[in-house]
Amino acid sequence: MRRTLDFVNEIAGILYVGGILSHIVIGAVIGTPDGATAVTVYNYKLTSAYILILPGLGLKLACDLALFFIWKERARWMIVKLACQAFLAVNAFVFLVPMMPDLLALAEAGDPAEPVSDAFHALEAREALVGMSNVLPLVTELIMGAFKPRLGQKAPSSALPA
């Protein structure tokens, strides 16, 4: 059962991080869009958030909570990992995903052939800022899960050189 949980956790990480990277790439490729392009991009971003990012984050959190409560994984790295995931979940569910329908609505409200509105750019800048605040917690969460560092705990005496 533990191997299955670890496998699901890996798939969840791929969904979550892959979805985030696709948002970054499409934003970099598009640059400053016209109205029609912004509609297409934010339709994509909203759909990929619902299909990849949120399910991936939810699965990661569920797997790590199972490790914590069922398998009694109480090491400091796990506590740091869960704290980072809590931060990421709040950012995703409270800030980032709710901004996407608003950005899509602003893009749809403008003329498809004209540049997007200043209101669109202002909200897009907020979305980018909140997204950037995820970098450190995300990298920390990934490092904790991959390397499981001791974080100030003494090495077991059997691991010390004689």
Report which secondary-structure segment, H or E, holds 79: helix 76-90
Contact 12, 56 (CB under 8 A): yes
3 state DSSP class of 110:
coil
Please check whether residue 76 is in contact with residue 150, taking contact to mean a CB–CB distance below 8 angstroms: yes
Give the per-residue pLDDT at 158.
58
Record the pTM: 0.88
Distance between CA atoms of residues 88 and 76, nearest Å:
18
Question: Which DSSP symbol is given to 31?
Answer: -
Q: Where are the domains of the chain?
A: 2-147
Q: The tokens of 152 are what?
A: 């100030």
Average per-residue pLDDT for the chain:
94
Share of the chain above pLDDT 90, in %: 89
Specify whether the CB–CB gap between 46 and 127 falls below 8 A: no
* Least reliable range by pLDDT among 45-54, 67-76, 150-159: 150-159
Say what the pLDDT of residue 31 is: 85
Predicted confidence (pLDDT) at residue 22 exceeds the cutoff of 80: yes
